[in-house]
Chain A
Amino acid sequence: MRLLLVLSFFLFFACQRTQIIDDLNDASFELLTQDSVSVTFPDDYKGKYVVMGFVYTNCPDICPLITQNMIKIKEKLGSPDDVHFLGFSFDPDRDTPSKLAEYKSAFRLDDNFDFITGDTTTVSALMDSLRVRTQVSFTTTTEVGEELYFLNHSDKIMVMDPKSRVIIEYGGSQPMVPNLIVEDFQKIRQ
């Protein structure tokens, strides 16, 4: 009986560590990086952990917080080779690869951190798969007469394991998130 209890205890914690939120193993999305390089998501990242945040570049406050949190996670993990960082833009009409390249440049990021997007249909399909939502919040006209729209959007950073399974998910802009993800990461990789 005692042995059964101990076994249950270990099984419980083993299951906790490998909780699968979404399984993208059978999914396939054709996307482009900020350098206009075609990638198949998630196939091209199999064998690596992927830390992924959801952003759009016309967002001046929350999305830079999400990006900055991803940078903190990268730094706290020590930029390991088996972890790739992706910023996924859910605003494909405006966030062309060249715009994403400018955004990446502003944050001074290296080759291990890419921004990706795709055509509208593919981006919508990927957002549905990962339960990422957006809606137009308001539009404004600038002093030079240009109309701009802004989005309400899911606030999320997720971690995908080397088998393309989403195993960690947190509110992306929250200040405590880098520490939480790094702690979870260390438990998973033990």
Chain B
Amino acid sequence: MTHSILCSVLLFIALTFACSSEQKTPENNTVNIENVSLEITNGWARPAQAGMMTAAYFTIRNNEPFADTLLSVSYAYAEDTQIHESFEVEGGMMGMRPVGLVPVAPQSKVELKPGGIHVMIMRPEINLTEGDSIDLEVAFSSEIRLIRVPVKATN
């Protein structure tokens, strides 16, 4: 009897530590409320002085059997935040264009990454310094998610 109580206590302690350590180490530093249906990982933002232009990036994974859509991303301390896409123009030139909506197909992932789709943060009110982190509000057709991403020069 004593042995089984001791085992139960040890099991409880082990499970408690396992769960707490999982919560403290979100994948790739992106703080993201645990949600298995829609995951946002690998988030980061480039450093910038206040008043400059910069960009943020992250990966969206849709684990649901139905499609979702990224509608918008906003950063409270910026003049504006828009979703843009860099693309190759003919003649060795690169360009950028606004992206209205970003479809996220069922059971798929969409990467917002340098040289591709990105969140353009226009004229932040504060310096974004390497080592800091910023909060972004990410709106999908299914839900609105708040994420915290680190500021760093490269990923």
Which positions in A face B, CB cutoff 8 Å? 57-62, 64-65, 68, 71, 102-103, 105-108, 133, 135, 137-138, 140, 142-144, 146, 148, 150-156, 171, 173
Q: Is the CB of A60 within 8 A of B92?
A: no
CB distance from A40 to the nearest CB of B (A): 28
Minimal beta-carbon separation of A33 from chain B (angstroms): 17
Verify if B26 is at the interface (C-beta below 8 Å from A). no
Task: Evaluate contact between B47 and A106: CB separation under 8 angstroms.
Answer: yes
Interface range, B side: 20 to 34
The 4 A-B residue pairs with the shortest CB-CB distance, nearest first, are A152-B95, A142-B80, A60-B55, A102-B49
Question: With a CB–CB cut-off of 8 A, which chain B residues contact A153?
Answer: 93-95
Interface SS of B by simple majority:
strand
For B85, the closest partner residue in chain A by CB is A61
Residue contact A68 to B154, C-beta cutoff 8 Å: yes
Task: Name the A residues within 8 Å of B91 (CB-CB).
Answer: 133
Question: Within the complex, what minimum Cβ distance (angstroms) separates B123 from chain A?
Answer: 8
| B96 & A137 in contact (Cβ 8 Å cutoff) | yes
Q: Is the CB of A143 within 8 A of B55?
A: no
Other than the known A60-B121, A61-B115, what 19 A-B pairs have Cβ atoms closer than 8 Å?
A59-B96, A60-B46, A60-B54, A62-B86, A62-B96, A68-B154, A71-B153, A105-B49, A106-B47, A106-B48, A106-B54, A107-B47, A138-B96, A138-B97, A140-B98, A150-B96, A151-B95, A152-B95, A154-B94
- For residue B14, give the distance in angstroms from its CB to the closest CB of chain A: 43
A140 in contact with B82 (CB, 8 Å): yes
Chain A residues with CB under 8 A of B130: 108
Which residue in chain B gives the minimum CB-CB distance to A152? B95
CB-nearest residue of chain B to A136: B95
CA distance A54 to B112 in the complex (A): 24
* Shortest CB distance A52–B (Å): 16
Within the complex, which residue of A61, A71, A133 is in contact with B96, where a contact is CB–CB below 8 Å? A61
Rounded to whole Å, the gap between the CB of B73 and the closest CB of chain A is 13
Q: How far is the CB of A185 from chain B (nearest CB, A)?
A: 21
Q: Which of B88-138 contact A (CB under 8 A)?
A: 89, 91-98, 114-115, 118, 120-123, 130
Minimum Cβ distance to chain B for residue A178 (Å): 11
A155 to B93 alpha-carbon distance, docked (Å): 6
> Once the chains bind, are B55 and A146 in contact (CB under 8 Å)?
no
Chain A residues lying within 8 Å of B82, measured Cβ to Cβ, are 140
**Given contact pairs A142-B80, A144-B79, A152-B89, A62 touches B94 in the complex (Cβ within 8 A):** yes
